[in-house]
Amino acid sequence: MTLRNVSILFLAGLLAGLLGGALPAPGARALVPPEPGAQAGAPVESWLVSLQGPSVYRRLMADAEGAALVAAQVPADIAPLARRLEAEVLDGQRDSIRAAEGLGIRVISRYSASGNGLLVHATSAQAAALLGQPGVIRVEPALMVRPQLTMSRPHIGATRLASELGYDGSGSYVAVIDTGVDYTHAHLGGPGDPAVWTAATAAGATEVITDTYLGERIFPNDKVVAGWDFVGRRYNPPHICSDADMAAGTCTNIPEPDPDPIDGGNHGTHVSGIVAGEAIDGIGDGIAPGAKIVGLKLYGRGGADEAIDLLADAIDYCTRVNLGIEDRGVTPPRVDAINTSLGEVWAQGSRLFDEIVEAAVGSGIAIASSAGNSGDVPFVQNAPPASPKMMSIASSVPPSESKVLEVVARWEDQEARYDGIDSSLVSFADKGAVEGDLAWYGQACNDGDGNPTPPVQEQSEKVSLIARGTCTFSEKLLNAQAAGAIAVVMYTDNRAKNAMGGGADGIDIPSLMIDNADGRALQTLLEAGTAVSVSIDPAKIRTVPLPGDAVSGFSSRGPSKNGALKPDITAPGSEIVSALAGSGTGGAAFSGTSMASPMVAGAAAVIQQRNRDEGLGLDGLGISQLLMNYARPVIYAGSPDNRMPVVRQGAGLVDLWGAGTGRL
d(CA 481, CA 459): 9
The pLDDT value recorded for residue 41 is: 63
Total domains, the chain: 3
Q: Band the pLDDT of 430: cuts 50, 70, 90.
A: confident
d(CA 148, CA 344): 8
Q: Are residues 510 and 568 in the same domain?
A: no
The pLDDT value recorded for residue 4 is: 30
Q: Band the pLDDT of 11: cuts 50, 70, 90.
A: very low
The pLDDT value recorded for residue 642 is: 85
Task: Kindly tell me if the per-residue pLDDT of 206 is higher than 60.
Answer: no
pLDDT, average across residues 117-145:
92
Choose from 61-75, 341-355, 529-543 the range with maximum mean pLDDT.
Answer: 61-75
Domain-located, residue 495? yes
pLDDT, average across residues 312-319:
96
Task: Kindly tell me if the per-residue pLDDT of 307 is higher than 60.
Answer: yes
Task: Kindly tell me if the per-residue pLDDT of 345 is higher than 70.
Answer: no
Mean pLDDT of all residues belonging to the chain = 86
Q: Are residues 166 and 296 in the same domain?
A: yes
Q: Are residues 388 and 333 in the same domain?
A: yes
**Residue where a domain stops, chosen among 489, 521, 545:** 545
Task: Kindly tell me if the per-residue pLDDT of 39 is higher than 70.
Answer: no
Q: Are residues 555 and 433 in the same domain?
A: no
pLDDT, average across residues 160-176:
96
19 or 321: which carries more pLDDT confidence? Answer: 321
Task: Kindly tell me if the per-residue pLDDT of 371 is higher than 90.
Answer: no
Q: Band the pLDDT of 252: cuts 50, 70, 90.
A: confident
Q: Are residues 371 and 291 in the same domain?
A: yes
The pLDDT value recorded for residue 208 is: 53
Give the residue numbers spanning the domain of 532. 400-545
pTM: 0.77
Q: Are residues 560 and 521 in the same domain?
A: no
**Residue where a domain stops, chosen among 501, 528, 545:** 545
Q: Band the pLDDT of 215: cuts 50, 70, 90.
A: low
SS3 at position 662: coil
The pLDDT value recorded for residue 552 is: 83
Task: Kindly tell me if the per-residue pLDDT of 464 is higher than 90.
Answer: yes
Q: What is the DSSP string of 151-197?
A: THHHHTTHHHHHHHH--S-TT-EEEEEES-B-TTSGGGTS---HHHH
Q: Band the pLDDT of 216: cuts 50, 70, 90.
A: low
Q: Band the pLDDT of 200: cuts 50, 70, 90.
A: confident
In sequence order, which residues have a C-beta less than 8 Å from that of residue 418 and are 6 or more positions away? 406, 407, 409, 514, 515, 518
Beta strands 173-178 and 337-340 are parallel
**Residue where a domain stops, chosen among 141, 172, 201:** 141
* CATH number where 584 lies: 3.40.50.200
60 or 218: which carries more pLDDT confidence? Answer: 60
Domain-located, residue 318? yes
Domain-located, residue 319? yes
Q: Are residues 416 and 386 in the same domain?
A: no
d(CA 113, CA 355): 10
d(CA 78, CA 89): 16
pLDDT, average across residues 587-595:
86
d(CA 644, CA 636): 5
d(CA 543, CA 25): 57
For 633, other C-beta atoms within 10 Å of its C-beta total 15
The pLDDT value recorded for residue 12 is: 29
Residue pair 281/182 in contact by the 8 Å Cβ criterion: no
Strand-pairing partners, residue 397, are 550
d(CA 106, CA 527): 60
Q: Are residues 416 and 328 in the same domain?
A: no
Q: Are residues 433 and 371 in the same domain?
A: no
Domain-located, residue 242? no
Task: Kindly tell me if the per-residue pLDDT of 211 is higher than 70.
Answer: no
Task: Kindly tell me if the per-residue pLDDT of 384 is higher than 80.
Answer: no
The pLDDT value recorded for residue 382 is: 64
What angle (nearest 5°) sits at the alpha carbon of residue 481, between those of residues 487 and 394?
A: 85
* CATH number where 475 lies: 3.50.30.30
Task: Kindly tell me if the per-residue pLDDT of 390 is higher than 50.
Answer: yes
Domain-located, residue 305? yes
d(CA 308, CA 240): 9
Q: Are residues 570 and 534 in the same domain?
A: no
d(CA 62, CA 362): 13
Q: At 343, which helix (H) or strand (E)?
A: strand 342-343
Q: Are residues 383 and 435 in the same domain?
A: no
Domain-located, residue 278? yes
Q: Are residues 374 and 305 in the same domain?
A: yes
Domain-located, residue 235? no
Domain-located, residue 654? yes
Residue pair 589/401 in contact by the 8 Å Cβ criterion: no
What angle (nearest 5°) sits at the alpha carbon of residue 592, between those of residues 591 and 596?
A: 100
Express as a percent the part of the chain with pLDDT over 90: 61
In sequence order, which residues have a C-beta less than 8 Å from that of residue 397 and are 6 or more positions away? 496, 498, 546, 548, 549, 550, 551, 552, 572, 574, 575
Q: What is the DSSP string of 77-130?
A: HHHHHHHHHHHHHHHHHHHHHHHHHHTTPEEEEEE-SS-SEEEEEE-HHHHHHH
